[in-house]
Amino acid sequence: MAVTLDIRDLEAGVRLDKWLASRFPERSREGWKTAIREGAVRINGEEAAPSRILAAGDRLDLPALPSKESLLPQPQQIDFLVLYEDDYLAVIEKPAGLAVHPSHGHADGTLVNAILARFPGRLSDQGGKERPGIVHRLDKDTSGVMLIALDNRTHEKLARLFREGRVGRYYQALVRGIPDVPRGLIDLPIGRGGVNRRRME
């Protein structure tokens, strides 16, 4: 069911997309921008840009808002290899190209969706309902072994081991070209890229 709201004096002077994301956090700011650009959000009966500054007395017509439950990840049959499983944890191989949990641009089709189908009713919820069983993560394009917690006590213990640096993690990378030296060590922090914020440098 659509929603109609009037902007009050205290709410004026804010961008439309920013106001919507703060008032209705069930949908991300990017999600609201898309809805606005598609004409699903109207101000005083007219289409508006995401950057539109709200004024007191503006009347907003919004689409029906998704419920929080409908936004939770749902089970999906996605292939992955289970290397080990007992009553407490599973050791799985995450394939490259599979995001670990839902995020902007990956609403479903993630490892979380896959493990919800593979381990129904058995995943820890220590990390929240959006990331059941997930103790640690791997980048989408990285393949590798991951530990999945099947109860909260195991999740807590595994998380502590990661925090204390008692879990060893080793990576293999393919390098194009011939390095100047046969062996070396990169000992620098990793952070978001200066130009492309979605890439790490």
CB of 125 closer than 8 Å to CB of 115: no
φ, ψ dihedrals at 160, nearest 5° = -65, -40
CB of 108 closer than 8 Å to CB of 76: yes
Rg for the chain, CA atoms, rounded: 22
3-state helix, strand, coil in the chain (%, to 5): 20, 20, 60
Residue 195 C-beta-side C-alpha neighbours within 13 Å: 0
Annotated catalytic sites, by residue? Answer: 139
Query: SS3 of 112, please?
Result: helix
